[in-house]
Amino acid sequence: MTVTETERTKTFISPNVANGIEEYRPRRSWRTWLIGRPLATADAPHQTIGKAIGLAVFASDALSSVAYGPQEMMLILAAAGVLALGYAFPLSLVIVGLLIILTLSYEQTIHAYPGGGGAYIVARDNLGELPAQTAGAALLTDYILTVSVSISSGVAQIVSAFPALAPWRVSIAVGMVLLVMLVNLRGVKESGITFAIPTYFFLMLMYLTVGVGLFRLVTGSLGPVVDPPHLELPEVLHPISLLLLLRAFSNGTTALTGVEAISNGITAFREPRSRNAGITLVWMAVILGSLLVGITFLAGHIGAIPSEHETIISQLARTALGGRNVLYLIVLGATTLILIMAANTAFADFPRLAALHAGDGFLPRQFTYRGSRLVFSRGIVVLGLIASGLITLFNASVTLLIPLYAIGVFLSFTLSQAGMARRWWKIGHLQPGEEVKEPGSTLRFERGWQWKMAINSLGAVCTCIVMLVFAITKFRDGAWIILVLVPLLVSGFFAIHRHYCSLARSLSLEAYGTPPLVRRHRVVIPIGGVHRGSLAALDYALSLSPDVTAVHVSIDPGESDRLRAKWERWGNGVRLVILASPYRLMLEPLLAYIERLASLRQPNEAITIVVPQFVPKRWWHNLLHTQTAVLLRLALLFRRGVVVTDVPYQVE
Amino acid sequence: MTVTETERTKTFISPNVANGIEEYRPRRSWRTWLIGRPLATADAPHQTIGKAIGLAVFASDALSSVAYGPQEMMLILAAAGVLALGYAFPLSLVIVGLLIILTLSYEQTIHAYPGGGGAYIVARDNLGELPAQTAGAALLTDYILTVSVSISSGVAQIVSAFPALAPWRVSIAVGMVLLVMLVNLRGVKESGITFAIPTYFFLMLMYLTVGVGLFRLVTGSLGPVVDPPHLELPEVLHPISLLLLLRAFSNGTTALTGVEAISNGITAFREPRSRNAGITLVWMAVILGSLLVGITFLAGHIGAIPSEHETIISQLARTALGGRNVLYLIVLGATTLILIMAANTAFADFPRLAALHAGDGFLPRQFTYRGSRLVFSRGIVVLGLIASGLITLFNASVTLLIPLYAIGVFLSFTLSQAGMARRWWKIGHLQPGEEVKEPGSTLRFERGWQWKMAINSLGAVCTCIVMLVFAITKFRDGAWIILVLVPLLVSGFFAIHRHYCSLARSLSLEAYGTPPLVRRHRVVIPIGGVHRGSLAALDYALSLSPDVTAVHVSIDPGESDRLRAKWERWGNGVRLVILASPYRLMLEPLLAYIERLASLRQPNEAITIVVPQFVPKRWWHNLLHTQTAVLLRLALLFRRGVVVTDVPYQVE
């Protein structure tokens, strides 16, 4: 015993005499093995990164979308027959145009918010609480879908290379999500280089594939795809209509998801932050645009067929690189890896955004809690579970998940750009030299604000149009889910906020007079029998107050008489009330009695129910006893002035 | 408010001045609608029944087994080809021989135990605790299987008449079980006549079918079954071996399940009880034997084929009665009804036996509790759930369930008859005129005890042989489950018994000295912040003892400084201890601190942890708060001398 006590005491370092505060250090447990040793709050890293690493850290989400964007675009076109696939290339050019507008818009955000310009912050500062919460809700759902879509697409690449694995799609995907979750629970301190390797590896191989493909095209040695997957045509071919093109375009815009990542993470960059982040954004846009156009062009040229069985990347790689060889496998491996990195990005963003919401009181405060590894562990776990659930529900199919995906992103794009436009408007109306401080940035008059406002307004209008097109053309395919979910989430956020606000008001000590102090104490002790347990509780009850009443619910009158006799001997003179229960109810008569006492309670009187509770040696023994204390506590929780105490009696 | 209080107070009738006891009457609720108005303990019925009604009440289990006994016997024989089915009739004669021995044995039990001679009581009185618990475990599993097998067979009759219902076998069966469960939860006060009608209806129709069949056989107009179900033969026909015959015989003995029912229920009979019960047993044996032989004989003659798709009863009825006409449907309906009545019998027996075990302390005491309708509701619900589970697991197939069935019955037969034999031995060694009282019966010298002992011994030996044959020949088909389960159950019963005994010992007031009384009270109040809730708890804490310590776990040093300042103003001079938690753990530092206090506790000192707890208006608000009180209580349950109290603070 003494040893254990010493052990226990050891967990406290000797009190620091200076401030009289003791420090607690946790002991090792199974979690240490799983997620690593606990980190103290003071261990939080403050490292910053350069442009090359920054690109690797923040661009994986955007860049990886070339693995599914063109494919999903072609899948829609295919409904109008093979010839319609030719529209993919011009559509990809339109998407690149949109990318240029977005990049220009976000360049301005990056310079305006050097402290991090996520849609939530920009909308909150410039548009107000409702747009901010809407942007937040849209982004949170979007991060969940980033994980589901990226991992599902990663599994699609694996299955393209090893078709025998097809039946285990869902299991592989869920396993990957849980793995990424675990890695994130450990915390990704070693981020920089671990991000750089797979990202640059992927870029190298992707450019190699596209480059070889173009070279062979020019030299005339690039043939069509050998043995392409079967094109699943509808019974009646759709005509090539505007609606069809818009639907294909919508799918293609999913390639732009993740463009906002750099503006969220500006603080991670080395000084001059905004400049470095801005340059990185341009790099990223150039790479993304070129790969998008290149892949779509080549895929069209070789006659690649969009299919659930083999990805476009796989068809392109084996056609350009000469069959299912080692290089082909490496390309698919790198693609899978970058898709996993994209999911990993969401695992960094979602918990951070959830913590931001929670800190503002719009999500449960628990999301602000940093786990033993200094990461927002609850957000990570919630994301992992929801994303796994979605993957299971949608059978790890990218095509089924896509209609849910891009609305959230484009909604947050719109709100963020509209916020920026509003900000320029405010800046334009400042006096030169005047400064206005806002939580996220400082407003200062700038020349040419009209141009800047125009750029952000263009961004807002374009992304808004894309969002509407997406919502309308994809409504029946699943977009309705998001259109229902986001308002629900937003109203949930506000309900949570109202709760925290009203709680803060009702707990506030402002205007706190002197409430009636507890001057009398009435104690009720329910007893089932007279034994050591109930006598221990009686002893405790008598130490609280001299006004103790024992209450017994009687089902069997004969047994009550015996109990009364026993009580006369052992009951220490305490008053015994017997409640007859001819209908054999145990809890209800007790509750009715307590309710009656409570209704007679005076303001300065406390009523304490002292419940004797056995604590058996083994957990399953609890099944052999009625848990009166638990039930009483639940039933009396809402009764003002009534406190339930259970006095544990440890059975030897 | 006042109205509600009056309402509440109304639930108590004015106290009976004579004994100072108040009575509680429950209010109406949704349960009233589902299972009827509550019944007071004094409402328990004490009606008794005559022989004709007694037969109906207790014989449905035994008589209904003619619906599956012959069929399952033939199913085994069919593995050796159509010709082997001819062995069914001689086997049925052997089974009738066994029935005669059983009847003679149980006649003696009925006269020896006029207060009810179930296997559990007979074994307990004469063989000891272990055989009694074994018999009980065997019977409990057997009652569960009675429900599963009878209902499955009932559904098989329905499906024979309406083959289109075949895909919904399991759902129909589970629905029936739940219906019978609900009827039993209401309580079957109106038992007599509701039992008599279906039982005698069934007997009438069964004798009609067999009678018409025999008449047409004699007159030569009984042809073979038209369009019989397809005989599913194994790839290689089994030879007709002794093992095959024994396996078929084993299946046939399931027809004898339920023979013990009358000896369990003697107390329900009108006086002279034993005589009336004894005569009823003979009637039942005659009916069961004649139907068994008759059905098996006719089934063999018309070339009925045992099958999962159409029952033997169905083939016999439509052949004897001239096709699938109204009479045929009525026969199948009556058969289904009697099978449901058989399940109903188990719903009466299982809860009663479970209550008997629980009363002796071998099952959770909750089983002795009579619900609002005076029935042992918990036993009824447990039986319903397990039987439904078994039906789902075994796909409502009688053939799959049968190997689990009869072992339990024959084990309890054996133990009960062995107990009786032991009893005659004891009687034989009494002096004439000497009397020995046992819990279940009185021993008095009787002449001819040797003969009586011989009969019960024969019964014990025969049923033991049947049990062994069954266990060996059916081992791989499922009997092993019971051979594993019964010992597990028995050891579980004893573990429960040990717990109750040791609890009773450790709670006993014998040799109870005067334990150290609580003379000092140390109160610890964990606080997360200084607000109205924590001040209300502080006020409560100060009403318990002047020795109060507030404890705050600090994750953020800056915030702790603010808290300390606030405490100086509002804390009523109470000592504040701050525990620094650089690893951001909340609960663990608090626990370590309390553990340390507890290790320094003096024998006459109580430590009370007063935890302020918000009670939000809506349940989901609880998700927005860490439930410190709940976690603390769980963690401190095993700490001697530490009591956790949560002071609820109702947020307006």
Chain A residues lying within 8 Å of B535, measured CB to CB: 509, 512
In the prediction, which pLDDT does A648 show? Answer: 80
In the prediction, which pLDDT does A189 show? Answer: 54
By Cβ distance, the residue of B365, B531, B595 closest to A8 is B595
Residue B504, min C-alpha distance to chain A (Å): 9
- Tell me the residue ranges of DSSP E strands in A517-574: 520-526, 548-554
In the prediction, which pLDDT does A374 show? Answer: 74
pLDDT confidence of B31, banded at 50, 70, 90? low
Mark yes or no for CB contact B643/A648 under 8 Å.
Answer: yes
Chain A residues lying within 8 Å of B8, measured CB to CB: 592, 595-596, 599
In the prediction, which pLDDT does A317 show? Answer: 93
- Best of A16, A543, A574, A588 to disrupt the B interface (most B CBs within 10 Å) is A543
- Report d(CA A336, CA A344) in Å as an integer: 12
Q: Is pLDDT of A498 > 80? A: yes
If we measure between CA atoms, which residue out of A11, A163, A51 comes closest to residue B594?
A11
- Report d(CA A117, CA A126) in Å as an integer: 12
Number of Cβ within 10 Å of residue A10's Cβ equals 11
Interval A95-151: pLDDT, tens: 999 999 999 999 988 888 887 778 888 898 889 889 999 999 999 999 999 999 999
Is the whole model's pTM more than 0.90, yes or no? no
Instruction: Looking at mean pLDDT, say which of A102-106, A226-230, B42-46, B628-632 comes out highest.
Output: A102-106
pLDDT confidence of B307, banded at 50, 70, 90? confident
Q: Is A249 in contact with A89 (CB distance < 8 Å)?
A: no
In the prediction, which pLDDT does A191 show? Answer: 56
Q: Is pLDDT of B2 > 50? A: no
For residue B125, give the amino acid letter: D
pLDDT confidence of A15, banded at 50, 70, 90? very low
In the prediction, which pLDDT does B177 show? Answer: 94
Interval B352-395: pLDDT, tens: 889 888 988 898 888 888 877 777 888 999 999 999 999 998 88
Q: Is pLDDT of A26 > 90? A: no
- Best of A507, A532, A605, A638 to disrupt the B interface (most B CBs within 10 Å) is A507
Chain B residues lying within 8 Å of A596, measured CB to CB: 5, 8-9, 12
Residue A454, min C-alpha distance to chain B (Å): 42
Domains and CATH numbers, chain B: 65-500 (1.20.1740.10), 520-650 (3.40.50.620)
Mark yes or no for CB contact A24/B581 under 8 Å.
Answer: yes
Hey, what are B25's tokens?
A: 């009457």
- Report d(CA B320, CA B208) in Å as an integer: 9
By Cβ distance, the residue of A11, A580, A650 closest to B21 is A580
Supply angle C-alpha A333, A337, A340, rounded to 5.
140
In the prediction, which pLDDT does B17 show? Answer: 39
- 3-class DSSP state of B643: strand
Mark yes or no for CB contact B8/A42 under 8 Å.
Answer: no
In the prediction, which pLDDT does B570 show? Answer: 85
In the prediction, which pLDDT does B417 show? Answer: 92
Q: Is B139 in contact with B486 (CB distance < 8 Å)?
A: no
By Cβ distance, the residue of A532, A608, A650 closest to B509 is A532
Mark yes or no for CB contact A21/B579 under 8 Å.
Answer: yes
Number of Cβ within 10 Å of residue A296's Cβ equals 29
Number of Cβ within 10 Å of residue A134's Cβ equals 23
Percent of chain B with pLDDT over 90: 32
Q: Is A383 in contact with A147 (CB distance < 8 Å)?
A: yes
Backbone angles phi, psi at A638, to 5 degrees: -95, 5
Q: Is pLDDT of B523 > 60? A: yes
Mark yes or no for CB contact B584/A26 under 8 Å.
Answer: no
- Report d(CA B514, CA B511) in Å as an integer: 10
Q: Is pLDDT of A14 > 50? A: no
Chain A residues lying within 8 Å of B512, measured CB to CB: 532, 535
Which residue of chain B comes nearest to A367, CA vs CA? Answer: B624
- Best of A583, A595, A637 to disrupt the B interface (most B CBs within 10 Å) is A583
Mark yes or no for CB contact A579/B542 under 8 Å.
Answer: no
Residue A3, min C-alpha distance to chain B (Å): 11
* A529 vs B233, more confident: A529
Q: Is pLDDT of A561 > 80? A: yes
- Best of B19, B22, B622 to disrupt the A interface (most A CBs within 10 Å) is B22
By Cβ distance, the residue of A369, A503, A593 closest to B584 is A369
DSSP states along B45-68: ----B-HHHHHHHHHHHHHHGGGT
Mark yes or no for CB contact B651/A507 under 8 Å.
Answer: yes
Q: Is pLDDT of B305 > 70? A: yes
Hey, what are B531's tokens?
A: 């607000």
pLDDT confidence of A41, banded at 50, 70, 90? low
Q: Is A132 in contact with A118 (CB distance < 8 Å)?
A: no
Q: Is pLDDT of A18 > 80? A: no
What is the rounded average pLDDT for all residues in chain B?
85
* A231 vs B302, more confident: B302
Which residue of chain A comes nearest to B623, CA vs CA? Answer: A364
Hey, what are B336's tokens?
A: 């289904």
- Report d(CA B248, CA B234) in Å as an integer: 16
By Cβ distance, the residue of A509, A515, A637 closest to B530 is A509
What is the rounded average pLDDT for all residues in chain A?
85
Q: Is pLDDT of A529 > 90? A: no
Chain A residues lying within 8 Å of B587, measured CB to CB: none
In the prediction, which pLDDT does B313 show? Answer: 93
Q: CB contacts < 8 Å between A and B, how many?
A: 250
Total residue count of chain B as it appears in this document: 652
Chain A residues lying within 8 Å of B519, measured CB to CB: 543
Q: Is B398 in contact with B246 (CB distance < 8 Å)?
A: no
Chain B residues lying within 8 Å of A615, measured CB to CB: 637-638
- Best of B624, B625, B650 to disrupt the A interface (most A CBs within 10 Å) is B624
Helix (H) / strand (E) containing A255: none
Cα B651 to Cα A577, A631, A637, A645, B343, distances in angstroms: 33, 21, 12, 20, 52
- Report d(CA A445, CA B302) in Å as an integer: 105
Chain A residues lying within 8 Å of B606, measured CB to CB: 540, 543
In the prediction, which pLDDT does A140 show? Answer: 93
Mark yes or no for CB contact A596/B9 under 8 Å.
Answer: yes
In the prediction, which pLDDT does B71 show? Answer: 92
Interval A562-603: pLDDT, tens: 899 989 888 888 999 988 888 777 888 888 888 888 888 887
Question: Complex ipTM above 0.90?
Answer: no
Mark yes or no for CB contact B518/A540 under 8 Å.
Answer: yes
Residue A311, min C-alpha distance to chain B (Å): 41
> Alpha helices of B429-515 — where are they, by DSSP H?
449-473, 479-507
Chain A residues lying within 8 Å of B11, measured CB to CB: 588, 592
Interval B162-188: pLDDT, tens: 988 888 899 999 999 999 898 888 765
Mean pLDDT for the stretch of residues B424-434: 85
In the prediction, which pLDDT does B220 show? Answer: 85
Provide the Cα torsion B324, B330, B331, B335; round to 10°: 130
End-to-end CA distance of chain A: 17
Cα B486 to Cα B111, B138, B409, distances in angstroms: 29, 6, 12
Chain A residues lying within 8 Å of B596, measured CB to CB: 5, 8-9, 12
* B23 vs A572, more confident: A572
